[in-house]
Amino acid sequence: MTTTPESTPAWAADRAATSRWASVRWLVLVPFAAVVVVMLGAEAPLRAPAVEWSLVSFAAAVALVSRLAGPAVRTLWAWIVLGLFLLGYLLQSALALSLGGDPTALARGIGSDMTWVTPAIVVDALVRIGRAAVVAFLTATVALEIVARAGTAPARSPDRVEPRYVWRLIAACAVASLVLAFLRFVLDIGVLGRETVHLPWRVDTVIFRSQSHLLPALFLYALWAAERAGRSRLAIAAGAAFFGHQVVVSLLSTSKSGLVWFALPVLFLWLCDRGLTRRRLAFVGAVLATVIVGYPVVTALRQARVQTPGVQSAGDVAHTVAHLLATQPPTVMAQETARRLIVRVNGAAGVWFTLSAAAREGGLDRLWPDRRVPLIRYYTRDICGVTRPGDFRQPGLVAAFLLAGGPYDVWLWVVFVGGWAFAWWAAGRMWTAPVARALMAVHMLVFANEGTLSWPDLATAACCVLLIEGIHRRLAAGPANSPELA
């Protein structure tokens, strides 16, 4: 039987997704329009450039959203670019402006190290943010048009991996997760509140990246392979092992977003594999709800790790959590947690710190003088003034490009967005395209959110994607060897 593109299930799913989001997607422009209104009321002398760049960024956002009517498998990367500016920069800036420069409100609403932020600083930073957004959005718009003209990858027959191989992979990864967690804890590798011990031949780096990058990629691949084989129990086992691994990593690093990095890869996988159902969406929502409920506990644990006054032991952690539960209603805790999760997305704060340091040092070109020093260390120690062992701050990509490129930072945005679009298109040609794109989305989201410009992060992501492709080609039973198709 000969099939045309219009008769395939993928085409039908794409058409349904397009019609479903054709109107809803325009709601994302509301925050951009709100920024324009706010900038119209900004004080001189910053009012003119602020209004100009907010208007231009709104127009660029309109152009990008007009190209985002297609399914997520084609447009997810561009949605991430848009969401990065929306959550990390616009919402944070709006929150800071709403606090009106009140030090007490800033300490409670954003952070204790943000009491110096004034509305003038926020508006000045929005000019830089708006310029970066314009270049990023226009580059993404052009890239979407080019990719659409290039066409999609040719359809391939499904490749399945025998369930016994998937079981073995899950078991091996679970054992490796426990072993690596033990080694990290004993050797003080990436544990909050402790200075990382560097081992010979970069063994510490291998241990850390194997646990934080390689194992999540393997668990995600096992989940996809189990679903591709139609084995629900196997898929549940892979998902449970992945969930448990992220819990262990969260406890080691006391990360407030550990489970987020479980939910997002799985969500991205289902989006890229056209398998997102209402039940699966509810599951992702339940995981994110768990993050909100457990946020106060992780916050108290984090305070204990860095020896915050009054929170230095397990008893202090329990007392702090009990005090929060006794003094704050659940609705208030949920609101506070949601607000702090927005603040957790790196972005505007990095621009505030960077521009403040530039004014103090005499210009952006005077910052980061020794490029041999990692950006994250320079930003944390010299710009933010944080010196606690194992505690680092991320600048976000806008601030990172300002530090790296100075007045030419916009060209770095062209390279970044254009390179991401090409990599996304190329991943569609792989046998494991849904897994590859999900991993790329997660790694590039982390790279853009943190803005550390660490090339090993990108190299590790590329290695994980290629390793998964190689494993699948080795284990997959092609159509000719599949019992179901023989």
Query: pLDDT digit string (tens) for 6-15?
Result: 444 444 445 5
C-beta of residue 407 within 8 angstroms of C-beta of residue 366:
no
Query: Per-domain residue ranges for the chain?
Result: 160-345+434-477
pLDDT at 34: 87
pLDDT tens for 90-106 read 888 888 888 888 888 88
pLDDT at 483: 40
pLDDT at 3: 43
Nearest to 213 by CA among 462, 479, 473: 462
| Torsion angle defined by CA atoms of residues 239, 243, 249 and 255, in that order, rounded to the nearest 10 degrees | 130
Nearest to 479 by CA among 87, 160, 254, 240: 160
From CA 451, how far away is CA 347, in angstroms rounded? 9
C-beta of residue 342 within 8 angstroms of C-beta of residue 87:
yes
CA 220 to chain centre: 16
**Residue 331 CB: number of other CB atoms within 10 A?**
8
pLDDT at 160: 82
C-beta of residue 439 within 8 angstroms of C-beta of residue 464:
yes
From CA 391, how far away is CA 400, in angstroms rounded? 18
Model pTM above 0.75? yes
- % of the chain surpassing 90 pLDDT: 43
Classify burial at 349, counting beta carbons within 10 Å of its beta carbon; exposed 0-12, middle 13-18, buried 19 or more.
buried
pLDDT at 485: 33
pLDDT at 208: 86
pLDDT along the chain (486 residues), means of 10: 44 50 81 85 70 92 92 92 89 84 83 86 91 96 92 66 94 95 79 64 86 94 94 94 90 71 93 90 86 66 53 56 62 64 74 94 91 93 85 90 91 96 94 95 91 88 95 74 37
Residues constituting the chain: 486
pLDDT at 179: 94
